[in-house]
Chain A
């Protein structure tokens, strides 16, 4: 088994067996994080550059820890402290970094398509760590891994994705990823925050008529973060209203399958999209997601840089 691409930009590029390969590899790497000495020499002598054009706590530390555990040499560029603020274009920044011969870039950008753009410029591998509203493939893989640890078969699994789907790169990647594995996806959101055209490569994707329909007998519930700014652009009336009609409450959760897995990509707005008590009472897999995130990112870097070694 191997993966025949230099980059991980979009889940659309991955077949079901590719996804399984990433997840199985991540399961192996997860063991390293559980050891006393959490370090292997797998990527010794390799250079990874993290460029974050958008603030991030979880994803960035997850990638940095993954790199350290694989013994890669890594550096992180924060845009506010870089020459970008002096007016350098994305292309020039990348050409300069490219000249320093890195093996991989990890890119987070507020513009959709940024990781794709960079992958065309550089010979190094590019991992998309979130581009605009487009995709967040490593989040999708860690979500799948978290579910796969509990559920063996994804066929006919009911996955509810609830919240600001229109603006969510997590939703986009998850819809592609879970449906490639045969799951049925139920989307629910204020209709102003639903995607307009729904066509996800032939996957079984449905719009639920109510929150209840979405969560009823669901095996997986993925709650998305709602940003306060959405009210300023008329997508929702107010956070208060959102809380009243689109929050996952314990009552709603009780309608899901008894063994339901509740996910949230973070950061969580407690008591806006999800009742704080659901998290406090340990009824979510949110921290499992974060734990698996490191393993998934180790697997991604290992697989992509490994491909470089064979084909570079």
Chain B
């Protein structure tokens, strides 16, 4: 398919901040201004998609995904993860390095990129480790990772405890203009906590993780970035405290960006009531007050990105006590519908959604040619039916793992078409 015409959709372009009913023409995988001579003339050569009454977004980018390959293919493979992503409307995903072996080398980065190339589905952008083996003891070969194709660095899941290592990692990565994504948390203060410390941890009688463990971690990382004058991206912000620290930091010119995940603006610690291990993740679900702060930060621009922190775990692993079950939930297939709720509730615009889920991740990760629906950009497109009502059932989950607290949830708004580089991957 070299020529594709998407007709009559309402095109949301975050780059020009426009929301206009127009046609999109894609030739050889690239978005082009419509030729003067309408390409519809020679029928059969141009494939036409009717987007009547549908919303056309630039292809969604999830900059925080855990694919479990290599090493834990029983939880998720690159292929199953991509299928879940396509189902959820994503055309690009970035995979975190906590695989086995850890992606701290050019070999693993190349393996991921080659594998994705062979699958020929959506785009995969690997994130390399900050420290060798995610151990927080010595720097990974960061230049080599960049050369192999890594778009960012993170020790996600293993916060870098040593401030000297974190500071020098920020500086060294800056040499290569490679963004660093921090899992900001004071791990000693988190201790053996399994859910947010507060009313719910008391009620369930489990050890809590104080919200300030995240705040302190965020403050430290923001201070490091400010002192050294380098960029920092804070992953999965979940507390009112972190939001406030980042807001203040941005005000004084610190080059910090951040993301939150749909569960932090959709759920609270109340979801843990039944010792629900599918509501256990790190950072944990917080309080109503935190949830409100996250929503406000999405509205006022403090939060730049919505990412899923898609973390698949097998049924058997999650079928355990709250103490023993692993942290993490899947998120690729529910991210857009949960975010659309903010639109339906009149909290944010569709343009803002396109910023949060496409343009900003592309900008932060220096991914060129993506994040906008304009001339010359790559033909990554997500078409959404805003009003389609549906229910998220376990049977429909494309991910190999089913650990979602949203099973059974009713949504309004669903992905209709997904195309990457002009190639249609999902059609109704």
| Bound pair (A, B) | yes
> CB < 8 Å: which of B141, B174, B228 contacts A240?
B141
Q: Indicate if the CB atoms of A191 and B143 lie closer than 8 Å.
A: no
- Is A200 an interface position by the 8 A CB rule? no
Q: Do the beta carbons of A234 and B169 come within 8 Å of each other? A: yes
Which partner residue on chain B sits nearest A231 by CB separation?
Answer: B138
Closest-by-CB residue of A relative to B131 is: A234
Cross-chain contact of B165 among A234, A238, A241 (Cβ < 8 A):
A234
A247 CA to B171 CA in the complex, in Å? 19
Contact (A190, B140) CB under 8 Å given A233-B164, A234-B164:
no
Q: A232-B138, A234-B138 are in contact. Are A191 and B172 (CB under 8 A)?
A: yes
Q: Which of A191, A192, A235, A238 contacts B141 (CB 8 A)?
A: A238
* B139 close to A237 (CB less than 8 A): yes
Q: How far is the CB of B406 from chain A (nearest CB, A)?
A: 40
Count B-side interface residues using an 8 Å CB cutoff: 20
Count of chain A residues near B, Cβ 8 A? 16
Q: Taking the complex as formed, is B168 at the interface, i.e. its CB lies under 8 A from any CB of chain A?
A: yes
A236 within 8 A of B: yes
Give complex CA distance A232, B165 in Å: 10
Inter-chain contact A236/B139, CB cutoff 8 Å: yes
Residues in B with CB closer than 8 Å to A190 are 171-172, 175
Q: Mark B133-145, 1 if CB is under 8 A from A, else 0.
A: 0000011111110
Report A221-250 residues with CB < 8 Å from chain B CB.
Answer: 231-238, 240-241, 244-245
Query: Chain A 192-217 against B: per-residue CB contact (8 Å), 1 yes, 0 no?
Result: 10100000000000000000000000
Given A233-B164, A237-B139, A192:B172 Cβ within 8 A: yes
How far, in Å, is A186 (CB) from chain B's closest CB? 15
The proximity string for A residues 148-192 relative to B, scoring 1 for CB distances below 8 Å and 0 otherwise, is 000000000000000000000000000000000000000000111
Scoring B143, B175, B176 by chain A CB atoms within 10 A of each residue's CB, the highest score goes to B175
- Mask of B229-248 contacts with A, CB within 8 angstroms, 1/0: 01000000000000000000
Q: For B141, list chain A residues within 8 Å (CB).
A: 237-238, 240-241
In this complex, the member of B139, B164, B169, B230 whose beta carbon has the largest number of chain A beta carbons within 10 angstroms is B139
> Chain A residues with Cβ under 8 A from B230's Cβ?
191
CA distance A49 to B60 in the complex (A): 72
How distant is A175 from chain B, measured CB to nearest CB, in Å?
Answer: 20
CB distance A191 to B174 under 8 Å?
Answer: yes
Roughly how many angstroms separate A234 CA and B176 CA in the complex, as a whole number? 16
Residue of B nearest to A230 (CB): B168
Once A190-B175, A191-B174, A191-B175 are accepted as A-B contacts, the answer to whether A234 and B142 lie under 8 Å apart by CB is no
Closest to A189 in B: B175
For window 203-236 of chain B, which residues contact chain A by CB distance below 8 Å? 228, 230
Q: B176 contacts which chain A residues (CB < 8 A)?
A: 245
Which chain B residues numbered 92 to 145 have a C-beta less than 8 Å away from chain A? 132, 138-144
Known: A191-B172, A235-B168, A236-B172. A241 touches B143 (CB 8 A): yes
Question: Is A237 a contact partner of B164 (Cβ separation < 8 A)?
Answer: no
Within 8 A of A (CB), among B152-205: 162, 164-165, 168-169, 171-172, 174-176
Smallest CB-CB separation from B144: which chain A residue? A241
Q: Which residue of B lies closest to A194 (CB)?
A: B171
Residue of A232, A233, A241 touching B142 (CB-CB under 8 A): A241
Chain B residues with CB under 8 Å of A194's CB are 171
Assembly CA distance A237 to B169 (angstroms): 9
CB distance from B221 to the nearest CB of A (A): 15
Tell me which of B171, B172, B228 contacts A237 (CB under 8 A).
B172
**Contacting residues, chain B, for A240 (C-beta < 8 A):** 141
Query: Roughly how many angstroms separate A190 CA and B146 CA in the complex, as a whole number?
Result: 14
Residue of B nearest to A235 (CB): B168
B140: chain A residues at CB < 8 Å are 237
- By a CB distance below 8 angstroms, the chain B residues around A244 are 143-144
Shortest B255–chain A CB gap in Å is 14
Query: In this complex, which of B138, B140, B176, B228 has the most chain A Cβ atoms within 10 angstroms of its Cβ?
Result: B138
User: Residue of A at shortest CB range from B174?
Assistant: A191
Q: How far is the CA of A244 from the CA of B168 in the complex (A)?
A: 19
A38 to B189, CA, bound (A): 70
* Contact A234 B168, beta carbon cutoff 8 Å: yes
Q: Looking across the interface, which residue of chain B has its beta carbon closest to that of A244?
A: B143
* Chain A residues with CB under 8 A of B165: 234
Bound complex: CA A234 to CA B163 (Å)? 11
> With contacts A191-B171, A191-B172, A191-B175 known, is A234 near B139, CB below 8 A?
yes
Q: Within residues 55 to 101 of chain A, which ones have a CB less than 8 A from any CB in chain B?
A: none
Closest 4 CB pairs of A and B: A237-B139, A192-B171, A191-B171, A234-B168
B→A interface (CB under 8 Å):
132, 138-144, 162, 164-165, 168-169, 171-172, 174-176, 228, 230
